[in-house]
Structure 1
Amino acid sequence: MKNLKKTLLLSLLSFLIIPTFAQKASWIWYPGDFDIYMSNVMQNRRTERGSFFPVFWKMDSHYVLVDFHKEFTLSQPEEVKLFVEGTYNVKIDGQAITGFSKSIQIPAGKHKFSLKVYSQGTVPAIFVQGKTIVSDETWLTTFEDKEWIDQSGKVSDKSGTTFVSAGSWNLTDPNMLPSKFKLPVVAHYAVNKEKAGNDYVADFGKETFGFLKIHGLKGNGKLDIYYGESREEALSTDKCETLDHLDLNLASKKDSVMPLSKAFRYVNFQAENGVTADSISMLYEYAPVTERGSFKSSDTELNKIYDVAKYTFHLNTREFFIDGIKRDRWVWSGDAYQSYLMNYYSFFDAPTVKRTLLAQRGKDPVTAHINTIMDYSFYWFLGIYDYYKFTGDKKFVQDIYPRMQSLMTYIDGRKNKNGLLEWMPGDWIFIDWADKLSKDGEVSFEQLLYARSLETMALCAKLANDTENATKYDRAAKALKTKIFELYWNQSKHALVHSRIADQLTDNVTRYANMFGIFFDYFTPEQKLAVKENVLLNDKIAKITTPYMRFYELEALCAMGEQSYVLKEMKSYWGGMLKLEATSFWEEYNPDKKGVEHLEMYGRPFGKSLCHAWGASPIYLLGKYYLGVSPDLPGYETYTIQPNLGGLGWMEGKVPTANGDISVYMNKKEIRVSAAAGTGKLILKSKSKPVVEGAEVKEVSKDVYEVKIEKNMNYAIGYNPPAT
C-alpha cells in the first residue's frame, strides 16, 4: 500500500508539471524594441509615384545591447538550445561560457542563466529551448547593466539596474529570425481583363492589398505598372498615386513579384514592344486574425455595411493597426484608437493592440506629441485604459506606465498661463478634416481630451501602485473639468463653445467637444439633452463629413438612446458609399460630390484613401449599442447587455471577450443570450415583467428590468416592449 501511494503521488506530480514541459519557447527582446523596429520597417515602405515618402515625426530605434536572464531550479541536468539574433555571450551564475554556444548543459540545482546580445542593425533577440527552460515574457531584461567590480574582481552586492519583463510576439519558430518576420500571403487572381495589344487593365473585383506577380515575363525594354483603387486612377498614368517602372533584359520567360506591396483594385499593365507576359496575379497579404465578432439583422443593406466594414478593417489590420492601405500605411494614433475599439468587437486581437501602442510611443525622451498631433497623444492614453477595460491585462498597463508618465510630463510642461493647452511651435492640432475649422487659441476639444487623459493616468497609476501620483492626476483632472465648464459652457447656446482666443470666448459652436462630453459622461442629464437638440440634431451646426468623426457623433447619439436615428444615418452615409460601388469604406465621403470628385483629396485627383480604417466604425456601433454588450469590470468579469433594435425587425450577433463569446439574439418579442465568460446583467424595457426560466429578474425603474446572466447558460427572455 505504501508503494502504491508513492506511485500515485509521483503520477500526480508528473501530471502537474506537464504544462511546464509543454510550454513553447518564443523569441524575446527588450519590451517595445521589436514593435518600434517593425513599425519603422513598415512605415518606411510608403512610396508616392515611386518616390520614398518618410514619416513626419521622430523615429526611435531599438537598444543595441541587451541583457536577458532568468533564475531556474532544476531537479536534474538539462540541455538547452540557443538561437540568437546578434553577437552574444552566455553566463551561468555569472561565469561566462566559452565561445558562441548553440547548446549548453545546465547542471541540477538553482542557477541564474544569462545572455547578453549586441545587434546594431536588428533587434537583439533570443530563443531558448530546453525541457523546462524556455524563453518567454517571464524573463527579465535590461539595456543598461549598472554593475561595478572592485579591484579583487568581486561584483557589487547592490545594483542600480532596472530589469523589466521581456517582450514577444509569440514567434515560436527558432529558425525564423524576428528580423525576417513577414505576414502570410495567398494567391489571388483578377476577375476581369481588358486587353489592348500588349497592354491591359486587370480588375481584381474589389479593394485588395499585396504584391503584384507577373507570370512568363520576357523581353527587352520597359514595363510600366499603374495601380488604382478606382479604374480612373489606374488609367491616369500621370496622376495615379502608386506605380512600378521596370527596365527589362530577359532572354527567357520567368515569374516576377514586385518588391513592394500595394493597395489596388485595378492594375494598368503597359509594356513596350518586345516585352510580353503570360498573365498577372497577386499575392494577397493579410494579418492571420480570427473573425470572432459577428452581426446580422433583418436589414440586408445594414448587413452589407457590416460585412464591408469588417473587410475594410481587416485590410488595415497588418503588423499594426494602420490608417489606410494605399497612401500612408502609417501608425496614426487617432486612427489606431478607433481600430482598437473595432477590434474588441470583431477580432479581439490583443497582441496587435499592444504592439501598436508600444510602437506609437517609442522611446524617451519625449520631444513631440505622438505623430506630432496634440489630440493624438491623448488618444494614446485613452487606448491604454480601454485595453485594460476590455482585456483585464493589468501587467501591460504596469509595464507601459513609465512611458505614460514621461509623455504626460511633456504635455503638462506645455500648458499656458491659464493652465490650458493651445498651439505651440512643433504642434499639429488636427481634430478633423473640415473646411474652416479653427485651430487657434485654447480649443475646448483639446482640453476635454486632456482631462480624460488625466483621468486615465489616475486609473493607471493605481494599477501601477503609484498612489501618490494617482492622487495628483485625479486632482488635476477634476480641476481641469471644472475649468472647462466655467470657461466654455454657454448657457444661451446650450453647448460648449469651440475656443477661447486671447482670453476671449468665441461664440462658435462645433460638434466635437459636445459629442465627446456626452459619452465621457461629463454633462448633467439636462445638459446632455440640450446638447443633443441644439448641437447634434441641429443642421445649422457645421456637418461632419469624415467617417473619423462620424464615429464619435453617432456614438454620442447612441449613448443618448437614438439608435433609430443612427440606423438611418448609417444607411445613408455608409450605404451612400455602397451605392457608389465601394468595396471598402473611404477616408471621407461627402454626398454632395459627384463622379470623380469623390476620388479627390489633398489637392490631388486620387489622393483620397478608398480603404481607411476609420471608415469601419459600424463594427463598433453595432456591437456596443445595438447588440448592446460592454464590460463593466476589466476583462468582462462583469458586463452589461442592453440591446436596442433601433427599428430593426430582428438582429443577432456575437461579441468576443478574452475568455469566450457573448451571443445575443433579439426580436420584438424575445431576447436570447448566452455567454462563455463573466457575470452579466441584461437591461431591457418591457411593459410587463419579462418571462425567463432559471434567472433572477428585478425591476430597476418603471418598465425597465434587469436579468442576471451566468456563464455557460442559455437564456430565452420573453418581453413586451413599450411603444416608441
Structure 2
Amino acid sequence: MKNLKKIILLGILICSAAQLFAQKASWIWYPGDLDIYMSNVMQNRRTERGSFFPVFWKMDSHYVLVDFHKEFTLTAPEEVKLYVEGTYNVKIDGQAVTGFPKSIQIPAGKHKLSLKVYNQSHVPAIFVQGKTVVSDDSWLTTFEDKEWIDASGKTSDKSGTTFVSAGSWDLTDPKVLPSQFKLPVLPMYAVNKEKIGNQDGILDFGKETFGFIKLHGLKGTGKVNIYYGESKEEALSTEKCETLDFLTVDIAKQQDSILPLSKAFRYVHFETDPTVKLDSVSMLYEYAPVAERGSFKSSDPALNKIYDVAKYTFHLNTREFFIDGIKRDRWVWSGDAYQSYLMNYYSFFDASTVKRTLLAQRGKDPVTAHINTIMDYSFYWFLGIYDYYKYTGDKKFVQDIYPRMQSLMAYIDGRKNKNGLLEWMPGDWIFIDWADKLSKDGEVSFEQLLYARSLETMALCAKLANDAEGFSKYDEQAKALKSKIFDLYWNQNKNALVHSRINNQPTENITRYANMFGIFFDYFTPEQKLAVKKNVLLNDQIAKITTPYMRFYELEALCAMGEQAYVLKEMKNYWGGMLKLGATSFWEEYNPDKQGTEHLAMYGRPFGKSLCHAWGASPIYLLGKYYLGVSPSSPGYETYTIQPDLGGLDWMEGKIPTANGDIAVYVNKQEIKVNSAVGTGKLVLKSRSKPVANGAEIKEISKGLYEVTIEKGRDYRVKYSG
C-alpha cells in the first residue's frame, strides 16, 4: 500500500513537473519591436484640451516580416500548438507545412522548427506550446538583413541572414495577443462630491491618481463636459485646464460608459445638459503590477511621509515604461527615465520595465538624432545601461543591446567640433535643466562631462561584449576627454569647473551642474572635491536649483561628500515644503518663493506644471543608497557595501531589493542589524571604540573606521559607539 502511494505521488509530481515546464512558453518577437510599438501607442495617447499632442522626435516602427526558429532534439513525438499574431508559414527541417496550422506533430529526433510571420499593423509574434518545445528568448529571430550572426555575435553560417535572440515580456497567455497588452485596473470612488448648480459637480478622489473615468447610469441626448485637475483650481477652470473630454450623448436606455483615454487627476468637474441623466461618476485606477519590495522608516515622521509620497509618485509614473509625468507629457524621456531606473533599484527592482524603457528609447538604426533630440539625454541612456548591469548582473542584456550602443556613439562622435568637443548643432536640444538665464551657448562643460562618462560606459560594455578593439578605442577616448575637460574648464582661482567655453575661451560663469556630477563621477581629486563643495554646492551665491530633477544630483553629490545631516534638512524643507502645500504626489518643479496658484503654473500656462513627476521621487534613491547606505560593489550584488549614515536621525530601518532577495538594515546610535539574502557584503561603520558583533570578525580599516563581512542567510547584530 505504501509503495502504491509512492507510485501515485511520483506520478502526480511528474505530471505537475511536465505541466509546469509546459507553462514556460511565452510570446516572442524581434528584440525591441514590442517595446517600440507599445511606447508609440502609449506616447501617442497624449492630449491637451481634447487635441492630439504627438511627440516631436522621429518614431521608429517594428519590422513587418520576421523569421523565428529553434533547433531541438525530441526523445518522443510531440504535438505543438501554434499561436501567431500575423500571417505566417511553418517549416519543419526546411519543409513547408500546408496552410496555417494551429498545431503540428513533430517526430522524435533532431529538428528545426521555423515560423515566418508578416504583420504590418502589429508586431509579428509567436507563441509555441508543446511539452518540451516552447517559445522563449532562446529562440533566434531575423528580419532578413542578410548576415548570419548567432546569439553570441559570432558569424556561424553562410546562409546570409542575421539571427538574434528573441524578445519577450514574459506574456504567458497564448490567447491574449501582445498587441492587446494592457495594465490592470481597479475600481475607485471619490472621497467627496460637491454640487455646482442643479446638474453639475466636482469630485475629489482624495489624492493624485490615474485611470479611466466611468459614467454610471448615463441616458439622454445632449452634452457631457468633463474637466480634469491635479488641483481644484485647474478642474474648475473650464477655459485653462490642461485636459478635458467633451462628450456627445445619444442613449435611449440607461447604461454605464467607460471613457477610452486614461487621465491624471485628483479632481473631476463635470457639466451635463438638462437633457442628459447621469447617476454617478467613478474611475478605474490603472497601475503597474510591480511588487512593493524596498522600504524605509525612521524616527522622523516627516521624513517617513516624504518617503511614502515619493514611492507613490514613482509608482504612478511606472507604467508600461517609466514616464515623466502622468498629466503631461506621459512620454518616455531619457533624462527622466535615468532617474527612475535608480529609484527603481531601491523600491520595486523591476528589471523588465528598465529593459523595455531602454529599448523603446533607443529605437532602430540608422541614428539620425539624439534621443528625444536632447544631447544630454543620449548620454543618460548610456549611463542607464551600465547601471542596469551593476544592479542586476544581467550580462546578456548588455551584450544584446551593445550594437545599438555602438551606432549611437558613432553618431555622437561624428558631431564633434574641431576641438574634439560637443556643442549645439542644428537639430540638437541642449537641455541640462529648466532654469532661468542658464546659458546653453558654446562648448558646455556639463555636456563634455556626460560624454566622457558615456565613453567610459562604452569601454565597460565593450569588455562585456568581448569587443577588445572597442574597449581600447573607447577607453582611450574617455581618458583623453577627461584630461581635456580639466585642462580647458578647471578655474584654479575659483576652484571649480566653469560652465562653458565660447570662441575657444573659458567663461567666468560657475554653475552647479558639471561640478556636482564631477563629485559622484569621482572625477575630482580629494582636494578638488572639498573645494567644489565649499565654493559651489554650499555657496548661496551660485544660482540655486529649483527643479527636483537637478536637486536629485545636487543632493547626491552632497551625500557622496558625507553631508547627510545637511541633505536631511534640505529634503525636509524641499519635499516637505510641497507636502505643507497639500501635495499628495511630488511636482515637476517647486520654488518656495512662489505663492498660491503660482505653484501650479509653468510654460506660460496657469496649470502647465505637472504635480506628479517621476523626477520628484528622488528621496527613494537617496535614502536607500546614502542613508541605509546599501550599494552593489560588483554586478548583481555578488558583493556589496553597507555604509549607513543616520544624518541626525535617532534610528532608521529598511529593505533594499536585489535580483535574488532583500538586504534588511536597522541602525540606531548604538547598534546595527543586518540580514541579507544575497552575496557577500561589507558593513563599513565609524565607531569611537572597536565594535562588538555576534560571531563576526571586526576589521579596522583606519582609525575609527571598521569593517564587518556579511554573509547571506545570517543575522548580524553589531554594537558600536556612534
TM-score by structure 2 length?
0.96
What's 1:102 paired with? 102
Matches within 5 A, 1:299-698: 299-698=300-699
Q: Which amino acid aligns with 2:227?
A: Y
Give deviations 1:525-553, integer Å, cap 9, x for gaps.
00000000000000000000000000000
Matches within 5 A, 1:136-151: 136-144=136-144, 146=146
Helix, strand or coil for the counterpart of 1:564?
helix
Structure 1 segments (4+ residues) deviating >2 Å: 13-23, 145-148
Mapped contact 1:645–1:667 kept (Cα < 8 A): yes
Cα separation, 1, equivalents of 2:718 and 2:158: 64
Following superposition, the deviation at residue 160 of structure 1 comes to: 2.3
Cα separation, 1, equivalents of 2:356 and 2:325: 18
Helix, strand or coil for the counterpart of 2:415?
coil
Mapped contact 1:69–1:141 kept (Cα < 8 A): yes
What's 2:87 paired with? 87
Whether 2:219 is the aligned partner of 1:218: answer yes
Helix, strand or coil for the counterpart of 2:417?
coil
Give deviations 1:93-118, integer Å, cap 9, x for gaps.
00000000000000000000000000
Cα separation, 2, equivalents of 1:396 and 1:580: 43
Cα separation, 2, equivalents of 1:361 and 1:57: 12
Following superposition, the deviation at residue 400 of structure 1 comes to: 0.1
Paired positions, count? 705
Give deviations 1:557-601, integer Å, cap 9, x for gaps.
000000000000000000000000000000000000000000000
Cα separation, 1, equivalents of 2:133 and 2:304: 49
What's 2:265 paired with? 264
Q: Which amino acid aligns with 2:131?
A: K
Q: Which amino acid aligns with 2:260?
A: P
Mapped contact 1:83–1:126 kept (Cα < 8 A): yes
Cα separation, 2, equivalents of 1:190 and 1:16: 45
Cα separation, 2, equivalents of 1:21 and 1:379: 39
What's 1:21 paired with? 21
Cα separation, 1, equivalents of 2:19 and 2:256: 47
Mapped contact 2:72–2:111 kept (Cα < 8 A): yes
Mapped contact 1:66–1:117 kept (Cα < 8 A): yes
Cα separation, 1, equivalents of 2:113 and 2:126: 13
Cα separation, 2, equivalents of 1:121 and 1:302: 49
Cα separation, 2, equivalents of 1:477 and 1:133: 46
Following superposition, the deviation at residue 162 of structure 1 comes to: 1.5
Mapped contact 2:299–2:652 kept (Cα < 8 A): yes
Mapped contact 1:20–1:132 kept (Cα < 8 A): no
Give deviations 1:698-721, integer Å, cap 9, x for gaps.
000010000000000000000001
What's 1:193 paired with? 193
Cα separation, 1, equivalents of 2:528 and 2:627: 24
Give deviations 1:57-92, integer Å, cap 9, x for gaps.
000000000000000100000000000000000000
Following superposition, the deviation at residue 217 of structure 1 comes to: 0.8
Following superposition, the deviation at residue 16 of structure 1 comes to: 13
Cα separation, 1, equivalents of 2:147 and 2:492: 63
Give deviations 1:255-275, integer Å, cap 9, x for gaps.
111110000000001011111
What's 2:56 paired with? 56
Cα separation, 2, equivalents of 1:17 and 1:478: 53
Matches within 5 A, 1:40-189: 40-144=40-144, 146=146, 158-189=158-189
Mapped contact 1:455–1:473 kept (Cα < 8 A): yes
Q: 1:395 to 1:42 in 2, by over 3 A?
A: same
Cα separation, 1, equivalents of 2:377 and 2:138: 32
Give deviations 1:45-68, integer Å, cap 9, x for gaps.
000000000001000000000000
Task: Please tell me the root mean square deviation across aligned C-alpha atoms, in Å.
Answer: 1.6
Cα separation, 1, equivalents of 2:393 and 2:448: 28
Following superposition, the deviation at residue 18 of structure 1 comes to: 5.5
Cα separation, 2, equivalents of 1:532 and 1:88: 62
Mapped contact 1:587–1:611 kept (Cα < 8 A): yes
Q: 1:239 to 1:147 in 2, by over 3 A?
A: closer
Q: Which amino acid aligns with 1:185?
A: V
TM-score by structure 1 length?
0.96
Helix, strand or coil for the counterpart of 1:223?
strand
Mapped contact 2:287–2:319 kept (Cα < 8 A): yes
Q: Which amino acid aligns with 1:326?
A: K
Identity %: 83
Q: Which amino acid aligns with 2:496?
A: A
Mapped contact 2:80–2:106 kept (Cα < 8 A): yes
Cα separation, 1, equivalents of 2:95 and 2:652: 65
Cα separation, 2, equivalents of 1:502 and 1:174: 61
Following superposition, the deviation at residue 147 of structure 1 comes to: 9.0
Following superposition, the deviation at residue 21 of structure 1 comes to: 3.0
Q: Which amino acid aligns with 2:357?
A: T
Indicate the larger mover: 14-23 or 372-381.
Answer: 14-23
Q: Which amino acid aligns with 1:62?
A: H
Following superposition, the deviation at residue 246 of structure 1 comes to: 0.7
Following superposition, the deviation at residue 377 of structure 1 comes to: 0.1
Mapped contact 1:650–1:667 kept (Cα < 8 A): yes
Cα separation, 2, equivalents of 1:259 and 1:50: 13
Cα separation, 2, equivalents of 1:210 and 1:509: 44
Give deviations 1:401-447, integer Å, cap 9, x for gaps.
00000000000000000000000000000000000000000000000
Cα separation, 1, equivalents of 2:159 and 2:559: 54
Uncovered stretches (5+) of structure 2, i.e. residues with no partner? 1-6, 149-155
Following superposition, the deviation at residue 159 of structure 1 comes to: 1.7
Mapped contact 1:227–1:234 kept (Cα < 8 A): yes
Cα separation, 2, equivalents of 1:264 and 1:474: 48
Cα separation, 1, equivalents of 2:499 and 2:318: 34
Following superposition, the deviation at residue 20 of structure 1 comes to: 8.0
Cα separation, 2, equivalents of 1:377 and 1:603: 27
Whether 2:253 is the aligned partner of 1:242: answer no
Helix, strand or coil for the counterpart of 1:682?
strand
Mapped contact 1:67–1:145 kept (Cα < 8 A): no
Q: 1:654 to 1:66 in 2, by over 3 A?
A: same
Matches within 5 A, 1:4-19: none
Following superposition, the deviation at residue 158 of structure 1 comes to: 2.0
Q: Which amino acid aligns with 1:423?
A: W
Following superposition, the deviation at residue 146 of structure 1 comes to: 3.5
Cα separation, 2, equivalents of 1:595 and 1:265: 18
Cα separation, 2, equivalents of 1:532 and 1:387: 29
Helix, strand or coil for the counterpart of 2:692?
coil
Uncovered stretches (5+) of structure 1, i.e. residues with no partner? 1-6, 149-155
Q: 1:699 to 1:19 in 2, by over 3 A?
A: farther
Mapped contact 2:44–2:54 kept (Cα < 8 A): yes
What's 2:3 paired with? none
Mapped contact 2:22–2:134 kept (Cα < 8 A): no
Helix, strand or coil for the counterpart of 1:639?
strand
Mapped contact 1:676–1:712 kept (Cα < 8 A): yes
Mapped contact 2:23–2:172 kept (Cα < 8 A): no
What's 1:4 paired with? none
Cα separation, 1, equivalents of 2:15 and 2:493: 72
Mapped contact 2:147–2:162 kept (Cα < 8 A): no
Q: Which amino acid aligns with 1:483?
A: K
Give deviations 1:488-534, integer Å, cap 9, x for gaps.
00011010000000101100000000000000000000000000000
Give deviations 1:313-342, integer Å, cap 9, x for gaps.
000000000000001000000000000000
Helix, strand or coil for the counterpart of 1:474?
helix
Q: Which amino acid aligns with 2:650?
A: G
